[in-house]
Amino acid sequence: MEKDTKEKFLKTICNNFLNLQDTDNYFRFPSYDFLIQKITSLDKNIFRIEKLGKSVELRDIYGIKFGKGPIKIMAWSQMHGDEPTATRAILDFFYFIQNHPEEFDDLINYISQKCTILFVPMVNPDGAEHHTRENAWDIDLNRDALRLTAPESKILKMVFDDFQPEYSLNMHNQSKYYGCESTGEHVELSFLATAPDKERSLTVSRKRAISLINKIVEKINALENQHIPMGKYDDKFEPRAFGDNFQAENSGLVLIESGYVPGDENEEKLRKLNFLSLIITCLYTDDLDYKKKDLQKYNELPAISEFYFDVIVRNATLNQDGKQFIADLGIKRELVWQGKSKYYYFGFISELGDLSTLKGFDEIDATNCIIKPVNTYNKSVQNIDEVKSLNYKELHKKGIASVKMDRLSLTKESTSMPLNILPIHEDWSPEKLSPATFLIEDSISGETKFIIVNGVYFPVNP
């Protein structure tokens, strides 16, 4: 296929992704049952579906093949059960292949003739079901490549050995708190051409991986017509990791990590970027040609590290045991699961002290301001609707940001409100700043400037 034709197809896909994606695939954390429903509904004339084995808790793990071309590509997701974004992108890929508009026939035929792609979505179905990184035995599968203790690890290794892919995509999610060290930006996608040995040798397979990463980065930036913050992991050799071992076995392994897009709680943009990465891989692995400049280009990707908070309050005055001191407060919001499909947020002060070298997605200058506990509303409420009816802006002006409710149920909604909801029997302790709920008061005028409620900040307008 000509270069211009590939570019045209990619641009059309990018611009029309909302119409090409699987609209059933809307939940940020797809369940195992949902995955099985989607796999079993695939057209057997298009996809070859195989049960590869069972997890610790006896959930089936599937392999799905598409295409009959000479270039073998293997992609897997959710080795860590609580990292679901790439699984959604893989389901979108299946949907696109099976339900694409007629205008994409030539593209699908080209991919089918050039590539054989083996997907193993949700390698760790038990972890996915319980929303844990580890499997049901509390084993991190990505540190089990040598011993192969877990059945899921054995399955992944067996499939790789049988398939012998030329390229491998190891798809994960990373902490939202990673940023690009050189630019200070948040990270939306991170990559790594894993090292095959302690010397970090530049083998033929690793060169292939580097060339593919460069192509994905180049095309995504061009397609989105804007700068997408992307970075790379440190390539220190980890002998227990599957990626490093598969690289050593001559598969051009690319680690793809989904990061964070501020304001995109359901990770729709990351889902799209993963889908585009899959399409780009299928389209361009037939003409990748490693050159010396590829290594330079790859090395120009900024290194990443964890230096973000959800909120940083800078230069605030705090009281402790009758003494005052000035410090920065770094606040994070943790997702806490209740059962299989319900979760809530818990905001907490993650770090206190000098955070001058770190960043917040939101930042507050609290110079000449003092941290104080919030006040509690003088009437109890019965339900969430009653909380919603309160004029929280007026309450915030009075330093009120806490309300008591009978039969409190912690939900995503109740923990994202501008008022901290307490059980009716619980008294708010002035010494307690966690969950991260407090007010920031001007130490001169006595006016409340900001309110923090469960890790979310609200300006208080006079």
List 7, 57, 224, 238, catalytic entry: 238
Task: Decide if 238 is catalytic.
Answer: yes
Among candidate residues 414, 413, 372, 375, the one with its CA nearest the CA of residue 395: 375
CA pair distance 137, 90, nearest whole angstrom:
26
Catalytic residue positions, numbered: 238
